Chains A and B, each alone.
Chain A
């Protein structure tokens, strides 16, 4: 009743459209779709713009992008909900049992209200506590052997390693930790060998130091210097004055050798052919079929350990530096003849060579008979003469010095001989080692006698390393006052023969060196035609 209030529907009538509803629908649908699509597109555009902006701003600060960067340089894996990484050298072939695992943590202690600090990094790494700080291996040689109790002081780390600009803090931290791990591995290997290997003078391993004596009176110490945390070096180290006795070459070589060892572990020489054979060096597999003797087997097996190699290298370095010092001190002490040393540029870790020339100044072309090639090895020096003689010297400094002194004295005499040839004088006699006169304490004296071109005069030289040189001139008889005319010899021609000797005051002679003086003497005794 209330519905049909005061209005009513009376009749029906139809209403038809006279235009096609489809097209209209199409148009209206198109319009509505386009408006809706426009809204969505606008929204999407805004969203993508804001995301791109955000990305730009936070590219360096985003945890995930930082993680990607970390992943490109370090091995990471996901365990549960933690991200762990591996900073050990195990994938490069190391067998050190340290796990070397570090953990990646999100850095959430940033206060978004305050300004983000410049060096903010959203990623932090947590390294194992025993790898914190930094470490290096120090190798040094000391002359005197101090008291063993003295060796407890380990030099703390003095300098901060400079980090490359732009390196991420986590990278620096991880690299430092890896370095610590490597140093520990090197030191562990060295100390293990120090204990196992039997040598004549046993090696001492004290805390972080290994001490051995390559030569008596010489002490080689290898120490692992590890400073953890941020502590600056506290003690003005007693090592400080010896700060420069680091043998950087040896330290570098230690690193190289352990890496070599790693590489060996991964070398394909260990792979078995045929495939079912056990792992092992392929040369050792031949031991059975070829019936190797025990000596052959031990020669195939791993050669020397790290420690022995380093000691050998240290010995060589020491020997080489001492040789150089000896030669240099001789060269500065003795001016005539001159000693020159030409060290070869390319050396081995166990062998170096130097060519020693003994010359007289001004007469290098004439007097070059003493040329020595010294091959400095690990414990000995081998000297090769120009004429092929080989002499082996031990590591004693004195031996080399004495040898060089004797060579120098021989040189003088050789020089006279060469000079005589040039000047036209005849060599009457020559001896490298005369058996006459007083015994030299070092080497032997040498002597030469030369006669002038017309035979009137003769010069006789005896030179010894200790006794110095003695020059005598033989005059013809008619110039000598001492001789009397005898009754037997009547012919005057006999007076032209050479007669008595007179010594020359060599020190008063003019001339800056021996050969020069000799030349003057010869010139004086050669009368002008």
Chain B
């Protein structure tokens, strides 16, 4: 019981403060409308409305809060009514309620909604009764579905959405650097194209490798030979190399022999 009382007190206090905020906002808004109407711009009016709606939202949230006890179950009964002016009350209510008398009690302590609101509620409930429970249920379900779908889309992290749109925009990579290298190699020295080789560079092999080898060495062999410098493998039956790159005799199958030093009969 104590706890409930305490809860009630606390919630009433917060409610009062929220309502005070709303009151202040309304106050300033009305002031602006009345005094500065010629300078007022639509965006600032919108701002005010937004503020008010935000505050009303907070109040709603507060009321829905589980910690808030149900005010419906509370009843306010006036204990003492007097037609005399009550200064304290007046101060509390900022001169709006100076007297706690029989006239003001029905208005301020009423539990039923305002007449207009009552009227609207009656209309709504008439319509509700009119459409029938099954139709209503169906409509409720569709509404819920739509809202949940919308919420999902809106709530999903923005990155997902951006990711999929950017994926559409962004071209899939239109070139492959590995392919570039392969093609350049093929054009420059026939990597992968040599007629008697499997694609790929060839390990320095024994002479005579490959059945269709013609006299001259191929690019692959020679380059690797040039690179390593030790065993340039030369196919073909012409002449053995001497392992000294500088003094290799020519293996060209022509009659043109260059006058190399090693071929000179009197050399060495």
**Does B227 sit at the interface, judged by CB under 8 A?**
no
Whole-angstrom CA separation of A13 from B133 in the bound complex: 29
Instruction: Report whether B124 and A24 are in contact in the complex, using a CB–CB cutoff of 8 Å.
Output: yes
Instruction: Report whether A27 and B127 are in contact in the complex, using a CB–CB cutoff of 8 Å.
Output: yes
Q: Given A19-B125, A23-B140, A31-B124, do A5 and B89 touch, yes or no (CB 8 Å)?
A: yes
Q: Given A19-B128, A26-B143, do A6 and B80 touch, yes or no (CB 8 Å)?
A: yes
Nearest-Cβ distance from residue B103 to partner chain A, whole angstroms: 16
Instruction: Report whether B128 and A24 are in contact in the complex, using a CB–CB cutoff of 8 Å.
Output: yes
| Interface residues contributed by chain B, number (CB under 8 Å) | 28
Nearest-Cβ distance from residue A99 to partner chain B, whole angstroms: 33
Whole-angstrom CA separation of A473 from B140 in the bound complex: 136
Partner of A9, one of B77, B80, B128, B136: B77
Nearest-Cβ distance from residue B43 to partner chain A, whole angstroms: 15
Nearest-Cβ distance from residue A22 to partner chain B, whole angstroms: 6
Instruction: Report whether A10 and B143 are in contact in the complex, using a CB–CB cutoff of 8 Å.
Output: no
**Does B21 sit at the interface, judged by CB under 8 A?**
no
| Interface residues contributed by chain A, number (CB under 8 Å) | 24
- B91 nearest in chain A by CB position: A2
Number of A-B contacts (CB under 8 A): 64
Nearest-Cβ distance from residue A304 to partner chain B, whole angstroms: 42
Instruction: Report whether A15 and B72 are in contact in the complex, using a CB–CB cutoff of 8 Å.
Output: yes
Whole-angstrom CA separation of A358 from B79 in the bound complex: 146
Interface 0/1 of A1-39, CB less than 8 Å to B? 011011111111111000110111011111100000000
- A10 nearest in chain B by CB position: B77
Chain A positions within 8 Å of B9 at CB level:
3
- B4 nearest in chain A by CB position: A12
Chain A positions within 8 Å of B140 at CB level:
22-23, 26
Instruction: Report whether B73 and A13 are in contact in the complex, using a CB–CB cutoff of 8 Å.
Output: yes
Instruction: Report whether A7 and B73 are in contact in the complex, using a CB–CB cutoff of 8 Å.
Output: no
Whole-angstrom CA separation of A30 from B125 in the bound complex: 13
- B92 nearest in chain A by CB position: A2
Whole-angstrom CA separation of A460 from B139 in the bound complex: 129
**Does B256 sit at the interface, judged by CB under 8 A?**
no
Nearest-Cβ distance from residue B5 to partner chain A, whole angstroms: 10
Instruction: Report whether B73 and A14 are in contact in the complex, using a CB–CB cutoff of 8 Å.
Output: yes
Chain B positions within 8 Å of A12 at CB level:
73-75
**Does B76 sit at the interface, judged by CB under 8 A?**
yes
Whole-angstrom CA separation of A226 from B92 in the bound complex: 94
Interface centre among A11, A12, A13, A27 (most CB of B within 10 A): A27
Chain B positions within 8 Å of A27 at CB level:
124, 127-128, 131
Instruction: Report whether B143 and A7 are in contact in the complex, using a CB–CB cutoff of 8 Å.
Output: no
Q: Given A26-B139, A27-B127, do A7 and B92 touch, yes or no (CB 8 Å)?
A: no
Q: Which residues from chain B sit less than 8 Å from chain A, CB to CB?
A: 9, 12, 70, 72-81, 88-89, 92, 100, 109, 124-125, 127-128, 131, 133, 136, 139-140, 143
- Between A and B, 20 residue pairs with Cβ closer than 8 Å are A3-B12, A5-B89, A6-B78, A6-B81, A6-B100, A7-B76, A8-B76, A9-B74, A9-B75, A10-B75, A12-B74, A13-B75, A14-B70, A15-B73, A19-B125, A19-B128, A23-B128, A24-B125, A26-B143, A27-B128
Q: Which 5 A-B pairs have the closest CB atoms?
A: A12-B73, A6-B80, A23-B136, A23-B128, A15-B72
